[in-house]
Amino acid sequence: MIKRWWNWWIRFWKGIWLVVKSMGNWKGVLSLLITWLLISGSGVSLLGVIIANTWLIGIGITTYAFWLGPFTPLIPINIGIAMLMQRYVFRDKSVSWKAIKSKFKEAFQKEDKKR
């Protein structure tokens, strides 16, 4: 049971990695960076350091500490929002649900072929 769950977990992260690799143009990288800075708390901390505001630094560190907790879905949420930004803000037609599903199918099929 544990091995089965562990294999699923590895396949899931391989699928996430394939989706991130498919975002490899400048629109994808920029949307991923912007989303990371907004959601993770790093951007708020960085802004606090730039304008010398300790309150913003504290809020950013608190947000970042929350996301470092166990079982918090920062990475999948970040990638999902970045893909939405890439698709609708930067109008990149290469991002679609069909492409995302195919990347996850590819990750799960590679593991099945190894058996």
| Segment 63-92, tens digit of pLDDT | 888 888 888 888 778 878 888 888 888 887
pLDDT at residue 2 above 70? yes
Per-residue pLDDT tens for 16-27?
A: 777 777 777 788
The DSSP string of the chain is -HHHHHHHHHHHHHHHHHHHHHT-SHHHHHHHHHHHHHHHSHHHHHHHHHHT-HHHHHHHHHHHHHHTSTT--HHHHHHHHHHHIIIIIS--TT--HHHHHHHHHHHHHHHHHH-
Residue 110 falls inside a structural domain: no
In a domain, 54, yes or no: yes
Average pLDDT over residues 86-99: 79
Q: Which domain holds residue 63?
A: 40-97
The model's pTM: 0.62
Asked if residue 34 is part of any domain, the answer here is no
Q: How many domains does the chain have?
A: 1
Give the tens place of pLDDT for each residue, 46-66: 889 999 999 999 999 998 888
